[in-house]
Structure 1
């Protein structure tokens, strides 16, 4: 298994693959970011709760989870390869001095993490094409720059392909949830992994952002794993009609 990713469960043809680019806060021992280690527990380093939700979902038949193996501060898999933020020199007002790399260092970081991650994800999708990809992220209850709490418990994001989103939004709302359609931000602005592996290949996907406080503990993670398992199965079935 590569240090760039981990695969949980057994992908199945016609199943569901849960993809979480930001599932880990791991920083390899030979990489020094030059930041306060406490930042690795915060959203700038990891999508809090998604690793656990994905792993729980992968316990269900027909579902597997593909998760990033390093912190988004080491390498942000949900960026275009040539985007400056793929190896961020700053995040949410915090400088990342260890990421001020020369050309050779930048290329080495991409070769070590970014390219193996995306090559492996492409191979999984080609080998066992799923009926649905679930792109799973989490978001902060409130922006550091705002005094307004974010009301949505879950957001549904998409770019051009909204097939799964249009099915999922009413299903989530029927559960009594406050659902954001292209909230807390638009999938048209930040959707790199799904643009590459889903939209470019015509594969149906569902982009889900869960508010962190919903999945900050084991009970919340179990609730959302069960809920998303049901919702994704319903979406996959309806897509196949």
Structure 2
């Protein structure tokens, strides 16, 4: 039996919005070194393995916006679906000071197997769901750690990553609307740069001429289901307002 390494929630929901969660899971499939990357269990609960809280926010947001949610079901340490196929960080050997033993001497055959088994089917699932809609809007949901190892604390509660040269980029409209919430410090292409050629938004939105935005939430604010739902409830009208302001 073929096993899918992604999940689709609400595929038949009616809205234009399509919510993606590239780093939804810390799962290591059994076929990858017996389901063990050689890390301690505590490391697999860290941000290096998945985007903590992002899936819960996305699922609540999907219900509120009548939008499908497409989520990966494998750890970003197995292969990162938010990287281009030739990106050297597609399969990480070292992440935030932590060595990934099972990836240290990975060969080309195993890299290709992971591409074909995990990365491409997830990518194809997003494309299938998006193509079922007229003028779909991609919302990529991510989360970021409050601080990286040895670095200063990150002050933003929420950040929007975007490509300035993308004519169908909703990012500036979302940022404008978020900054009207006077209790938020809003990152604009923080703590990461907003465009990486070949990444998921580039492949599935920018190159396809689709409206898009990428949302980053700080992980310590979305630890539990209550916090995740609260953020989804806050984001839903903000996204709808941003879309209305964009004129699309």
TM category, shorter: over 0.9
The 5 Å alignment of 1:24-39 reads: 24-32=25-33, 33-39=37-43
Q: Quick one: structure 1 residues 198 and 37, their matched pair in 2 at CA, closer, same or farther if it must change by over 3 Å?
A: same
How far the C-alpha of 1:16 sits from its partner, in A, is 1.0
The 5 Å alignment of 1:184-195 reads: 184-189=191-196, 192-195=199-202
The 5 Å alignment of 1:50-61 reads: 50-61=54-65
Partner of 2:144: 139
How far the C-alpha of 1:47 sits from its partner, in A, is 0.3
Q: Is 1:88 aligned to residue 92 of structure 2?
A: yes
Partner of 1:21: 22
Deviation sequence 1:76-127 (CA, Å, 0-9, x none): 1000012222121221122212122211111111111011111121111112
* Contact 1:12 1:130 (C-alpha < 8 Å) held by counterparts: no
Q: TM-score, normalised by structure 2?
A: 0.90
* Contact 2:17 2:65 (C-alpha < 8 Å) held by counterparts: no
What SS does the aligned partner of 2:68 have? Answer: strand
Q: Quick one: structure 1 residues 36 and 130, their matched pair in 2 at CA, closer, same or farther if it must change by over 3 Å?
A: farther
What SS does the aligned partner of 1:73 have? Answer: coil
What is the distance in 2 between the residues matched to 1:37 and 1:190? Answer: 33
What is the distance in 2 between the residues matched to 1:137 and 1:95? Answer: 23
Number of aligned residue pairs: give it.
240
Where structure 2 has 5 or more consecutive residues not aligned to the other structure, the ranges are: none
Q: Is 1:198 aligned to residue 205 of structure 2?
A: yes
Partner of 1:112: 117
Q: TM-score, normalised by structure 1?
A: 0.92
Partner of 1:233: 240
Partner of 1:153: 157
What SS does the aligned partner of 1:59 have? Answer: helix
Q: Is 1:219 aligned to residue 226 of structure 2?
A: yes
Q: Quick one: structure 1 residues 61 and 2, their matched pair in 2 at CA, closer, same or farther if it must change by over 3 Å?
A: farther
After TM superposition, the runs of 4+ consecutive aligned structure 1 residues lying more than 6 A away are none
What is the distance in 1 between the residues matched to 2:177 and 2:206? Answer: 22
Q: CA RMSD in A?
A: 1.9
What is the distance in 2 between the residues matched to 1:70 and 1:81? Answer: 17
What is the distance in 1 between the residues matched to 2:89 and 2:68? Answer: 28
- Give the stretch that moved more between structures: 87-96 or 107-116: 87-96
What is the distance in 1 between the residues matched to 2:203 and 2:158? Answer: 23
Partner of 1:10: 11
Q: Quick one: structure 1 residues 79 and 95, their matched pair in 2 at CA, closer, same or farther if it must change by over 3 Å?
A: same
Where structure 1 has 5 or more consecutive residues not aligned to the other structure, the ranges are: none
What SS does the aligned partner of 2:11 have? Answer: coil
Partner of 1:209: 216
Partner of 1:166: 172
Partner of 2:45: 41
